[in-house]
Amino acid sequence: MIWITPPTLAAINAMGKATLVDHLGIVFTEIGPDFLRATMPVDHRTVQPMRLLHGGASVALAESMGSVASSFCLPDLATQSVVGVEINANHLSSTPEGSMVTATVSPIKVGRTLHVWEIKIHRPDDRLICVSRITIAVVARR
């Protein structure tokens, strides 16, 4: 297990209240020994003008998941924080409005000051639509 501070779905979802996570309808749904899973609706908040999932919404989902995952890998949330320093995404397929996407974040490296995560986003038919990688820096809380 990679979690130093054991996460709960209630704690994770509470972290997102009144943030972009809440606005986009992102809900964390599963915790594994080395992964987190969340869903996001493809609706008026997350589509582009062609009524397909906006690539920026996929990136916001990926960044949110990487940041949340990193926060539960810290020994002391009172003195440490996490910040994204780089993210990339490959958009592999489209998803129409009215769908729900599911994303899974898993670690590539969880070090003392640097975390790298992979996020895979799937459509309801399990088709992979986006692969993202985020680098997170662990910093002193100000």
SS (H, E, C) 48-64: CCCCEECHHHHHHHHHH
Residue 50 CA, distance from chain mean position: 24
User: With a threshold of 0.85, does the pTM exceed it?
Assistant: yes
Query: Is 63 annotated in the active site?
Result: yes
What CATH number is associated with residue 30? Answer: 3.10.129.10
Q: What is the pLDDT of residues 19-58, one digit of tens each?
A: 999 999 999 999 999 999 999 999 999 999 999 999 999 9
- Asked, for residue 131, whether it belongs to a domain, the answer is yes
Among the options 30, 63, 86, 97, which is catalytic? 63
Residues spanned by the domain of 119: 9-140
- Asked, for residue 4, whether it belongs to a domain, the answer is no
- Asked, for residue 13, whether it belongs to a domain, the answer is yes
- Asked, for residue 3, whether it belongs to a domain, the answer is no
Non-local (6+) Cβ contacts of 13 within 8 A are 27, 28
Return the structure tokens found at 141. 């809380």
What's the pLDDT band for 108 if we cut at 50, 70, 90? very high
As a whole number of angstroms, the distance between CA 63 and CA 118 comes to: 10
Domains in the chain, number: 1
